[in-house]
Structure 1
Amino acid sequence: MKKQLVVLTGAGMSAESGINTFRDADGLWEGHDIYEVASPIGFKNNPELVLDFYNQRRSQLLTVSPNTGHENLVSLEKNFNVQIITQNVDDLHERAGSSNVIHLHGELRKVRSTSDKDLVYDWDKDIVLGDLCEKKSQLRPHIVWFGEDVPLLEKAAEITMKADILVIIGTSMQVYPAASLIEYVAPNTPIYFIDPKPAITENSFNNLTIIKDVASSGTTELLKILSHNE
């Protein structure tokens, strides 16, 4: 029976594909205050700005490809039941071939109704004012904004609780509630943390191994470690 391997991924997972990490060192997203482009009130105040912001992100996403890190996670499915829980809104895990992916913060290539959150549509073109759902309400990005609930968090916590191995890639573990998922793993579960600038130390958790590297080469190292431990 295959072990359950749960992978938590953040912006560093996709950085090598050319996806910009949204939040810069100065706290701005592409030159915008976060709340201007990633909050319900920002959308209410200036919907055109918000739609344009995500239209640009979506357009960029369609020009990039999965990197070696994404592909390495797919190869882990040969020997493990792999479940990916990502904070990323890109679809690079799916395009690489990963079978089980949960997007905590939504998906760029989907839109949803402003009046019914369950009306979600695949969407690859720009969203403009006047694009309506079947209930005649404006469409918005299918993104979890600041101040909104994270609907898949409970499901993600349940998956993390069942992990035989936890892998964390390219996330500072500073953004809540996603960062709280590490608290759900069973005691002494092996944890592998892959990041070139790790925000935690090896004495932060029991059975923690830090791989101080970017996603592509870090996951290559992980594959070697896991193959030796089988």
Structure 2
Amino acid sequence: MASLHFYKYYLKYNGNVTDYDMVGLIDSIWNNHNSQQRTISIKKHWYSMSACWHPETNDETVRYFWVDKSLNNNPWTGNLGTDDRELVPGTLYQNASCLLIPNSHSLVVFEPQGAPSHNELSKYLEAFIKPTLDNDRLEIVLRPVSTDLTFNQINRNWEVKNISLEVNPDEFNPDLAFPNYDADPISRGVIEALTNMSNAATEGSAEQDTPTVGIKIKKKSSQRSY
């Protein structure tokens, strides 16, 4: 089954996390290597970056790329790493579709069954980085930040259907947190309800023992929670 994964990515230098955004690495793999050079073997499987795209208006924004995986030593006819090829019968070929968001160090990966895992993606990208000094250690880490989502779940959550707000009553100031919230009657009612709950929690609690309070705003309805 295909699934969607969310990762935080980091480049570690000698064990220390850096702020490297990996845009330069993706561009280097795609622009400075031909299709054969982008195709490498890792633990008897073959991997290749076969597609890469970015918005033409801003080179520093997102990158979208594919990393192919084959479970056979001779998976394709035609040029490896290109779209102009045919699958050899009896082999399994899948690709991971990756969206790199450098500002938040996020990588969103669509993984069909048989596609590269996040560890395999890390090893593939690591194969194209070399330290300046031989004793330096460079490592790419992909850390999962969310559970898997199937396509059915994505379709059901295509639009925002609820928003949850949780506040510390001892510090909550609605005018600072939500400027001009009273301009709209709906938002005014929601924030007033949250303020009333916050005040009630403060008044009814012992000193330094005030619980957080929250409210969940659902589409076409409102559900409060304490």
TM-score band w.r.t. shorter chain: under 0.3
- Identify, as 1 or 2, the structure richer in strand: 2
With structure 1 as the length reference, what TM-score do the two structures score? 0.20
Structure 2 length-normalised TM: 0.20
